[in-house]
Amino acid sequence: MQSPLTQPSSSDLFKSSINEYLDNLPETVHAQLYKSPETCLAVFRLLPALAKFYIMTLLFQETAIPFLDLNRWIRHKKASGTTHRRNPSKIYQNESIKRLKALNLLKEIRKKLKHPKTGKTAVIVFVQLNPIFRQSFRDALTGFRAGRQLDPNEKITETIEESEAKESGKKGLKSSKDNKSTESTQKNLNALFSDDNAKITVEFLDSYCLSKWENILHFMVGSEIAEYPSIGVLTLLRYSGLMELPSDRQRRENSSSGADADEDFVVDDHYIDGKLTPPSGEELKSLLITKSGFQFLLQTINSQIWTLLLQYLKMSEKLMMNPVDVLNFIFMLGSLELGEGYPIGMLSDTQLIMLEDLIDYGLLYYPRDAASGGKGKIFYPTRLATSLTSEQTNFKTASAALNDQIANPATEADQTRVEGSVIIETNFKIYCYTSSPLQIAILNLFVHLKTRFANMVTGIVTRESIRRALINGITADQIINYLETHAHPGMVKKAEEKYAKKLEFENSIGNTYAADQLKFEILPPTVVDQIKLWQLELDRIEATNGYLYKDFANDFEFEKLMDYGEEIGVILWKDKSHRRFFVTTEGNTQLIDYAKRILRKKGE
Amino acid sequence: MDAIADRAFVGLKGNAKDKYHILDETPSLLTVILDINPLEWKKLMDSNNLRFKDVTSALLVMLNSHMALNSGNKVSLYIANSFYHGAKLVFPSFDDDDNDDSQSPNSKEKVDDNSSLEEEKVNEIVKKKRSRQRKVNASRILETTGIYRQFRIIDETIVDSLDKIIKNEPSNLKSLVGKGETHIKGTLSGALSQALSYINRFQNSDEHSGMKARIVCISVSGDNTLPYVSIMNSIFAAQKQKVSVDVCKLGPNSTFLQQASDSTNGVYIYIKHPLGLIQYLSTALFIDPMLRPMVVLPTNTNIDFRASCFITNKVVDIGYVCSVCLCILSVIPEDEICPTCHSKLDHDLIVMLKRKPRVLPLVKKAKRKRNSSTPDINPVKKFREN
Amino acid sequence: MARAIKGSLVQCDPSIKALIVNIDAEYKDIVIEELDDTHLLVDPAKIPFIKRELNILLSKNMYNPDDEVQVS
């Protein structure tokens, strides 16, 4: 079982995993990727806020700027004499720059410059944006693309224009969509144009993608479903280790002596490589959910999709699909407009293969009407696709759109994804406004459910119910995260008010340290703490891999290294009297670099 | 009570991550107020060779960049100081309540234009045609093809409405002059308060609750067009709402806007090289509200805190203050009644104040007080109410 | 010059630490270094083993309310 605190929270999961994936791509692939403005935009959105800011400052700079200028933006906390030596801003900055470098966005140039007064030469580090990225991102922002070669994506956008010109009837609809708050107008217009738009409205797409996606989730929790997901989906579920065949489970149980939840994501490639015949569709229907499958269920819909897409990426690499094509297509989806049709003609072959799979996940809608003879030529991205590169906040708008349908019992199935319906009280009682069997099934993973009403269920979080979940491989953080993302808007609002009040108070008495420490708490802290305590009960130790530094020759060396380590926040434990400290694995290389630099300086 | 409910757990990795995680995720609203006073723009063009078009395109890039930051981000644009519209919401355009938004203090004959709007509302087909026309029109101006959809919607709407407004300006000016109104009162404060109300409504809606917001003013007019009281009131409102007001100043420097950015934790930038405007807009004026606590704001520290006279609208060094409403005067009104609160001022005191200074030490008797509430400002004489 | 030892930092209660030291005494080669009351440096490969052993040891003396209910 993994240590609880080293595990990223589930909403973080998709971000960190897509980031990790992008980070590990070779530079040549990056260069190819950055040729597409859509991809640049998506990559940009995945960055930390400070990294975004740095990119913006560098975007319109023609020349490289000294690296130190980037530091200058960061406010340095005054040394108030406290032991609180770590500067969170600094750590955050370090992280941001690390990400920029990993993605090959930031290039360092070392120049030897003569000091104008002293005449000494010194090496100054200059930074510059990746020129390809800069060009594409500028293009994305300014809409200027002259003098560039056409790539497939560009063609798509062009043909979008053409198809728009043809469908002039939809123009009115588009222009009124300038703003989301004019939804009522939009609806009127939708109704107005419904005849030439057939049935493909935003509402239709929403309910389509949700039913498609929920079908997959229902299959995972094992509830009764009318139609099984396609073989492609089932294979992916198995490939990603979210589900397994009974035979897989047996094999796993035989080969290992249990207690290796870490290896749940182990994937057997035999089927991909064609060494064994893939299991038949019938066989796949008997898939069982794994521990990681349970964890998967607790994530937000957005991270669920990303988890699957990442697995898809990995699988596609094995199938010799061009990762640039695949990634470009995924990122392009994020920049498409909901409710618009796009012609498939301009997709590359790889992307056409993907199209089929994405339809299965409910990311795209592709009407196969018999009238036009075989397959249609237009595909429609659903909300799942268009919000791929967005935050969960966009799903709130999705639920807002769905709220209208709550009044309408005919579309009852659609309201199931309304996020923000769980209320949890300090006495551990849980109320959840839902009628979705799926959400109830998920809640049942860690809540002792008591009563069920027409539109809500009540339950109580108990030690036993949490323990059951923990033994299933769900972590406390995942439970807490699920409760947070699904918290009722009322709870969120209350938490915001409380946070603002506390912050104001701490600032008014000038206690900046306490103000920094303030947390934004949606759930009652007692409940959060208790859930964590229950987890600790099961898991009494907390282990982190890394390096222990000891046997320092003198205080100077020790202090120097420790100070640096503290500053970048990689030191987990220290013992001044014995001159020892412990560094995380990630921090180790940085620390060694620093040590070398010091040694070199000393040598000079 | 709170102490009991406090967290028992302090994560090993520190709270920083949690905090910055929120920082990365929270979307924000950017409201831009664009000063389009045509006379000032003319001056700028003559002196700096800076065209309105250049500024608009830089502004559009800035709005696009803001949208690029986070897909939950929103933008809105107000214009101020136009002859006809006064202050007006340009984006997002609420087609249906266009009439409400175009309320302007200067225009009394706006009925003409409304009739065409009515028409638009009534006849959807006309609207369809119009919007198509609009698209064509806008795309001709922008001359773009492959641009991210969300950006294009914003750009087109803005370019189109600005175009419409600017084209009407000359005739509006004429009609104003014809009516004998020569002094144009600035409507920046109007735009500011509209923007603040918009933000307030935005933040209180369920959909966007908790969204952070900031305002960027692109101002070209000098202080003489700014109504002091309403500007100050809007500043205090912004302060209360925790909305930063950033100022991008072209043309003459403005004391009031400096004060506005200073008291709202905003950035005041005087643009020395207007041709590099985009760099200013994408750097110094591009600091997201969530980043503010950790970033050094590129703003100057010496701010002119002087106020302006309520009667003459001129900035005063030493003046009189009404003891009832604290209104600032550079001259004593003829009728000895405070122009703001209409309190009667003490006649005897005024006589005393108006007296020529004598060389004799008798002056000690005069009840001159120093206003203690503004210690770092120049001494201010105070009236006593009757 | 300083030395760096690869390992896994285990943070736990003093009581748990005592238990781990106990396990180490039985099976050897688990604990590399005892750091202080609440920290230990152990062999990263042995972490799952330690956890399993700990759970066995703890469940031996854990109070189970369900048993109580059955008795009464």
Q: Would you list the DSSP string of B199-240?
A: HHHHHHSSTTTT-EEEEEEEE-S-GGGS-HHHHHHHHHHHHH
Partner residues linked to A294 by β-bridges: none
Closest CA to B79 of B33, B26, B121, B15: B33
- Check residue B32 and give its pLDDT: 92
Q: How many angstroms separate the CA of residue A222 from the nearest CA in chain B?
A: 33
Q: Who wins on pLDDT, C66 or A500?
A: A500
Q: Where are the domains of chain B?
A: 16-294, 306-386
> Whole-angstrom Cα distance, residue A187 to residue A203?
10
Q: Where are the domains of chain A?
A: 4-35+37-150, 154-169+193-386, 546-603
Architecture of domain A546-603: 2-Layer Sandwich (3.30)
In the structure, what pLDDT confidence band is assigned to residue A603 with cuts at 50, 70 and 90? Answer: low
Check the CA dihedral A504-A509-A510-A514 and report its sign.
negative
E strands present in A396-484: 422-424, 429-432, 448-452, 457-460
E strands present in chain B: 28-35, 74-82, 86-91, 212-219, 244-249, 268-270, 307-308, 315-316, 320-321, 328-329, 381-382
- Check residue A369 and give its pLDDT: 54
| Interface membership of B128 toward A (CB under 8 Å) | yes
In the structure, what pLDDT confidence band is assigned to residue A254 with cuts at 50, 70 and 90? Answer: low
Q: Who wins on pLDDT, B132 or A477?
A: A477
- Check residue B189 and give its pLDDT: 86
Looking up residue C44, the CATH number of its domain turns out to be: 3.30.70.1220
User: Which amino acid, A230?
Assistant: S
% of chain A beyond a pLDDT of 90: 1
Instruction: Indicate yes or no: CB of A543 within 8 angstroms of CB of C10.
Output: yes
Of C36, C47, C54, the CB nearest to A575: C36
For residue A66, cis peptide bond before it (omega within 30 degrees of 0): no
Environment class of residue B99 by beta-carbon count within 10 Å: exposed (0-12), middle (13-18) or buried (19+)?
middle
Closest CA to A235 of A226, A245, A223: A245
What HEC string does B309-339 produce?
CCCCCCEECCCEECCCCCCEECCCCCCCECC
> Whole-angstrom Cα distance, residue B292 to residue B267?
10
Q: Tokens 């309201």 appear where?
A: A415
Whether A548 shows a pLDDT value over 50: the answer reads yes
> Hey, how many other C-beta atoms are within 10 angstroms of the C-beta on A468?
15
- Check residue B6 and give its pLDDT: 38
Whether B160 shows a pLDDT value over 70: the answer reads yes
Mean pLDDT, range A57-81, rounded to an integer: 75
Report chain C residues whose CB lies below 8 A from the CB of A536: none
- Check residue A153 and give its pLDDT: 37
Report chain B residues whose CB lies below 8 A from the CB of A148: none
Q: Tokens 């995680």 appear where?
A: B21
Q: Who wins on pLDDT, B224 or A31?
A: A31
Distance, CA of A400 to chain centre = 22
- Check residue A402 and give its pLDDT: 38
Q: Who wins on pLDDT, A313 or B131?
A: A313
Report chain A residues whose CB lies below 8 A from the CB of B210: 492-493, 496
Whether A288 shows a pLDDT value over 80: the answer reads no
**CA distances (Å), B186 to each of B80, B82, B84, B191, B231, in order?**
8, 8, 12, 10, 10
For B242, the enclosing helix (H) or strand (E) is none
Residue of A nearest to B7 (CA): A525
Q: What are A209-240's pLDDT values in tens digits?
A: 878 888 888 888 777 677 777 777 888 888 87
- CB–CB of A23/B264 below 8 Å? no
User: Ramachandran region of residue B318, left (φ > 0), alpha (ψ -120 to 50) or beta?
Assistant: beta
Whether A340 shows a pLDDT value over 50: the answer reads yes
Average pLDDT taken over every residue of chain B: 71
Q: What are A386-414's pLDDT values in tens digits?
A: 777 655 433 433 333 333 333 333 333 33
Q: What are A442-471's pLDDT values in tens digits?
A: 888 889 889 988 888 999 998 888 888 887
Predicted model pTM: 0.66
| Interface membership of A6 toward C (CB under 8 Å) | no
| Interface membership of B69 toward A (CB under 8 Å) | yes
Residue A291 structure tokens: 């521990």
Residue A434 structure tokens: 């839902």
> Whole-angstrom Cα distance, residue A211 to residue A217?
10
Chain C residues interacting with chain A (CB cutoff of 8 angstroms): 1-13, 16, 20, 32-33, 35-36, 39, 41-42, 44, 47-48, 50-52, 54-55, 58
Q: Who wins on pLDDT, A327 or A602?
A: A327
- Check residue A431 and give its pLDDT: 92
Closest CA to B308 of B384, B256, B260, B343: B256
Whether A16 shows a pLDDT value over 70: the answer reads no
Of A538, A553, A573, the CB nearest to C9: A573
Q: Who wins on pLDDT, B260 or A166?
A: B260
In the structure, what pLDDT confidence band is assigned to residue A280 with cuts at 50, 70 and 90? Answer: low
- Of A2-16, A586-600, C8-22, where does mean pLDDT reach its minimum? A2-16
Residue A301 structure tokens: 């819909």
Assess if residue C25 is contained within a domain: yes
Angle, CA B223 vertex, CA B217 and CA B227 arms, to 5° = 85
Q: In which domain, by residue range, is C67 found? A: 8-71
Mean pLDDT, range A116-143, rounded to an integer: 81
Of C12, C32, C35, the CB nearest to A540: C12
| Interface membership of B302 toward A (CB under 8 Å) | no
% of chain B beyond a pLDDT of 90: 4
% of chain B beyond a pLDDT of 70: 68
Q: b/e string for A510-542 if b means 16 or more Cβ within 10 A?
A: eeeeebbbbbbbbbbbbbbbbbbebbbebbbbb
- Check residue B196 and give its pLDDT: 92
In the structure, what pLDDT confidence band is assigned to residue B24 with cuts at 50, 70 and 90? Answer: low
- CB–CB of B307/A87 below 8 Å? no
Q: What are B174-199's pLDDT values in tens digits?
A: 777 776 665 566 788 888 989 999 99
Q: Would you say domain B16-294 falls under CATH 3.30.210.10?
A: no
Distance, CA of B25 to chain centre = 27
- Of A4-8, B356-360, C60-64, where does mean pLDDT reach its minimum? A4-8
- Check residue B143 and give its pLDDT: 35
- CB–CB of A313/A327 below 8 Å? yes
The domain tally of chain C equals 1
Assess if residue C65 is contained within a domain: yes
A-B contacts (CB, under 8 Å): 207
- Check residue A25 and give its pLDDT: 83
Q: Who wins on pLDDT, A537 or B140?
A: A537
**CA distances (Å), B341 to each of A324, B73, B108, in order?**
70, 43, 28
Residue A380 structure tokens: 């429609």
| Interface membership of A453 toward C (CB under 8 Å) | no
| Interface membership of A26 toward B (CB under 8 Å) | no
Whether A181 shows a pLDDT value over 60: the answer reads no
- Of A179-183, A579-583, B63-67, where does mean pLDDT reach its minimum? A179-183
Whether B330 shows a pLDDT value over 80: the answer reads yes
> Whole-angstrom Cα distance, residue A325 to residue A348?
8
Instruction: Indicate yes or no: CB of A175 within 8 angstroms of CB of B282.
Output: no
- CB–CB of B263/B242 below 8 Å? no
- CB–CB of A180/B150 below 8 Å? no
Assess if residue C45 is contained within a domain: yes
Q: What are A517-540's pLDDT values in tens digits?
A: 777 788 888 999 888 888 877 767
Q: Who wins on pLDDT, B162 or A335?
A: B162
Instruction: Indicate yes or no: CB of A394 within 8 angstroms of CB of B145.
Output: no
Whether B265 shows a pLDDT value over 70: the answer reads yes
- Of A156-165, A365-374, B81-90, C42-51, where does mean pLDDT reach its minimum? A156-165
- Check residue B215 and give its pLDDT: 92
- Check residue B217 and give its pLDDT: 92
Q: Which 334-353 residues of chain A touch chain B by CB within 8 A?
A: 334-337
- CB–CB of B248/B285 below 8 Å? yes
Q: How many angstroms separate the CA of residue A485 from the nearest CA in chain C?
A: 30
Whether A261 shows a pLDDT value over 70: the answer reads no
- Check residue A272 and give its pLDDT: 44
